[in-house]
A = this chain, B = another copy of it.
Amino acid sequence: MTGMPPAFEEALRRGKARWEAYGDRRYLRLADDFRGHPKGAVCWNGLVVAGYPHIGRIFRLEQGLAQQFAAPFWVEEKIDGFNIRIFRSAGEVFALTRSGYVCPFATDRVADFVDPQIFEAEPDLILCAELAGPDNPYTQGGPSFVKEDVELFVFDMMRVGSSDFLPQAEKQDLCARYSLPVPRGFGRFVAADWERVRGIVEQLDTEGREGVVIKEDAPAGPRTKFVTAWSVVYDIAVRAADTVELPGDFFTGRILRMALYLDEAGRTVDSGLERDLGRAFLQGLTASVERFKRDGRVYHDFRCRFRRRENAVALMEHLQAILGHTHVMQTRLEQAGGYWVLEFVKEVPKLTGLLHQLFRGALVED
């Protein structure tokens, strides 16, 4: 192990960084934001992989673009998956989650999507990407256009030791040269083009897609995201079953988002949208109640595919360490279609506990 950068040394002393392990490799992970470094930064053999910064959201396109962007910006599709950073060390490629854990699943599957030659030519490159699709180990659902398994979308690049993003032209060039999969790009705009941007988002809304990420083309320039009304209904449908696990404003913030979106788009609320929203709330929760009555607990089902069996085992261990051993249970691990197919359930513990009480006839004070 080579030297540790001073910021990590201090974070470690203050309990803001922790040692983690992936197989027999050890690395340091920033468990909280620290001195301007976003949570999830990793120190790996003395090299720093910066954390992926949080991107704020605007609720109004016209005023939001004017307020946030003095310079031109790129608009690209926002993909609803989980954020990873892919890097190479000592000839091996690893993928980190947003929180800075090595993800055994993403690490296993990167080779399906990324030509390893890119790291021969650019050894200090970090690919920032979304791994998205129904067969992922973290989130329910995924983009409507990924019908099975997962797909990878590279949307940013950094270099080891820096938190700056590569310029758009350099990123696009590398993506093209190595045939990296990327999200749809809609081009370069200025704030005064907001109606054209709205047109793009409205089209995405019609197609049942999440929205856009908007990025000034500068190493640490402003960025923001803006999502469709459709995404609000979708988020609520996917997370309704987790109602009591989520922060209270998860749902109300989204409905406000939808109200402002529709207002700016000049749309009125129609009964189809009302029905979709009500259904989003009720279906997931109704399914959870059914599940509880059947199994005595509320579970979410997960499935994902691995190239190597040991990575499936490592993922289960990782999830059990993070979520608690009693809340994650493997139900299947076998070879099929050239992969190791892992299936497991995650308990929704707060909702399980609450339903236990309510079905016993408990009083609730509210």
Contact = CB atoms under 8 A, between A and B. Distances in A.
Nearest to A273: B278
A69 B113 CA distance: 62
A197 to B, nearest CB: 13
Interface stretch (A20-28, A141-149, A251-259): A251-259
A64 B364 CA distance: 10
Contacts of A67: 360-362
A275 interface: yes
Looking at chain A's contact residues, the main secondary structure is: helix
Interface residues of A, number: 61
Number of identical protomers: 2
B278 A364 contact: no
Contact of A259 (B65, B66, B282): B282
Contact of A278 (B62, B248, B276): B276
Contact of A274 (B62, B259, B282, B285): B282
Interface string A42-74: 000000000000101111101111111000000
A363 interface: yes
B285 A363 contact: no
Given A57-B366, A63-B359, A244-B252, A282 B260 contact: no
A262 B286 contact: yes
A86 B255 CA distance: 41
Given A60-B359, A248-B248, A361-B60, A274 B275 contact: yes
A290 B366 CA distance: 31
A159 interface: no
Contacts of A365: 54, 56-57
A249 interface: yes
Interface string A348-366: 0000001000111111111
Nearest to A293: B263
A358 B289 contact: no
Interface in A266-302: 269, 271, 273-283, 285-286, 288-290, 293
A222 to B, nearest CB: 8
B260 A358 contact: yes
B243 A68 contact: no
7 contacts: A57-B364, A57-B366, A58-B363, A59-B364, A262-B286, A274-B275, A275-B275
Q: Which 3 A-B pairs rank lowest in CB-CB distance, beginning with the nearest?
A: A248-B248, A67-B361, A56-B363
Given A56-B363, A248-B248, A278-B278, 5 more contacts: A243-B252, A248-B252, A256-B285, A263-B289, A269-B286
